[in-house]
Amino acid sequence: MSLLLCITGWDVAPWLERLRRLAPGRDIRAWPDVGDVRDIRFAAVWKQPPGVLAALPNLEAIISLGAGVDHVFADPALPDVPIARVVDPDLTARMSEWVVMHALIHLRQQRLYDGLQRRREWNDIRPAPAAADLRVGVMGLGVLGQDAARKLGIMGFDVAGWSRSPKQIEGLKTYAGDQLDAFLARTDLLVALMPLTPDTRGILNRNLFGKLARDGVFAAPILMNAGRGGLQVEADIVAALDAGELRAATLDVFETEPLPAASPLWGHPAVTVTPHNSAVSDEDAIGRFVLRQIERRERGLPFETPVDRLRRY
């Protein structure tokens, strides 16, 4: 019942050390040192190279080391076995910290105060809207979106959410499916917490920005994206900012990561960049999650957090 760690883009060594420490009796290997491929029953993956999993004849299940699974589906030879994804309270809490913090930075116009401080200017900026004056729209009402929406609500923001399927969530205005335009029309600050799928790729584009509210406290809407870089069209974000169609953008994820040094996003005065760390997590907790999923499968139980192969999230 060997477990293969198949990771690119991150350092695999700490993951190997962590999982071996958490499960000392288990045979855990790290790609490319696979050994006898017939031994491998489980794979824990982050951006596995295409074809590696297909070469494991006895693979029973795949566990994504992230909450997102677009990196798993990027493999055209993905074996047809069950897939799980990370859902972890620590990760969720940290994502909501990022969302609430950056929503507050926009609300309280902190970037303007940063500039004033650098220029040694004492200036109390008006208008100074309250949280209730800012209509936040959370795109994606899954594990992360619901937690973020609830915490934004606690801070007093006027929050609504949009998802694929209709939802009833106490204290939240909800929109679904083809109600997207109505959702956008009441949104001053858009927070994207959606998976990257064939349906959502490029959804954050200039056409969509044009449907956001323009009658809010800040006149032009604000974009925040911590879902996936593939949701956004970066050239459209820059063009919309430069044309005044967007007031600001706070981005944790990018079309290409790491964000290339030549990207105009780095130096744009209205853009805040964070390095895909909005949900920086307790990695031991993720390790324990992975091992718990394997133990469940070994006991004949389903994954706690199965991925739907058709929906791709």
Site of interaction with ligand OXD (CB under 6 A): 66-68, 86, 279
Please choose which of ligand NDP, ligand OXD, none residue 251 contacts, taking the beta carbon within 5 to 8 angstroms, the exact cut-off set by kind.
none
Q: Is 84 in the site for ligand NDP (CB under 6 A)?
A: no
Q: Which of 200, 232, 250, 293 binds ligand NDP (CB under 6 A)?
A: 200
Q: Is 287 in the site for ligand NDP (CB under 6 A)?
A: no
Q: Is 228 a catalytic residue?
A: yes
**Taking Cα atoms as reference points, which of 97, 4, 93 lies closest to residue 54?**
4
Closest residue to ligand NDP: CB criterion: 142
Q: Which of 137, 195, 216, 221 binds ligand NDP (CB under 6 A)?
A: 195
In angstroms, the Cα distances linking 172 to 97, 153, 156, 224, 309 are 19, 8, 12, 19, 29
Shortest distance, CB of residue 171 to ligand OXD, whole angstroms?
26
Q: Is 163 in the site for ligand NDP (CB under 6 A)?
A: yes
Q: Is 173 exposed, middle or buried (0-12, 13-18, 19+ CB in 10 A)?
A: middle
Q: Which of 3, 52, 143, 159 binds ligand NDP (CB under 6 A)?
A: 143
**Which residue's CB is nearer to ligand OXD, number 238 or number 253?**
253
Return phi, psi of residue 21, to 5°.
Answer: -70, -40
- Inter-residue contact 161 to 187 (CB < 8 Å): no
| Residues forming a β-bridge with 7 | 46
Q: Is 191 in the site for ligand NDP (CB under 6 A)?
A: no
Shortest distance, CB of residue 67 to ligand OXD, whole angstroms?
4
Place of tokens 């200036």: 123
Shortest distance, CB of residue 64 to ligand OXD, whole angstroms?
7
Q: Is 276 a catalytic residue?
A: yes
Among 206, 268, 276, 292, the active-site one is 276
Q: Is 276 in the site for ligand NDP (CB under 6 A)?
A: yes
Distance CA 306, CA 3 (A): 18
Angle between helices 110-118 and 89-107 (to 10 degrees): 60
Closest residue to ligand OXD: CB criterion: 66
Distance CA 192, CA 278 (A): 12
Q: Which two tokens stand for residue 164?
A: 């694929």
Distance CA 66, CA 46 (A): 7
Distance CA 155, CA 106 (A): 13
Segment interacting with ligand NDP, rule: CB under 6 A, options 9-17, 38-46, 121-129, 271-279 = 271-279
Q: Is 279 in the site for ligand NDP (CB under 6 A)?
A: yes
| Site track 219-258 with ligand NDP (rule: CB under 6 A), x = hit | -------xxx-----------------------xx-----
Cis previous bond, 258, omega within 30: yes
**Which residue's CB is nearer to ligand OXD, number 8 or number 58?**
8
Q: Which two tokens stand for residue 96?
A: 């909501």
- Inter-residue contact 38 to 57 (CB < 8 Å): yes
Q: Is 142 in the site for ligand NDP (CB under 6 A)?
A: yes
Q: Is 145 in the site for ligand NDP (CB under 6 A)?
A: yes
Amino acid at 81: V
Between the two ends of the chain, the Cα-to-Cα distance in Å is: 26
Among 18, 20, 106, 228, the active-site one is 228
* Binding residues for ligand NDP (CB under 6 A): 67-68, 95, 140-145, 163-165, 193-197, 199-200, 226-228, 252-253, 276, 278-279, 313
Which residues are the active-site residues?
228, 276
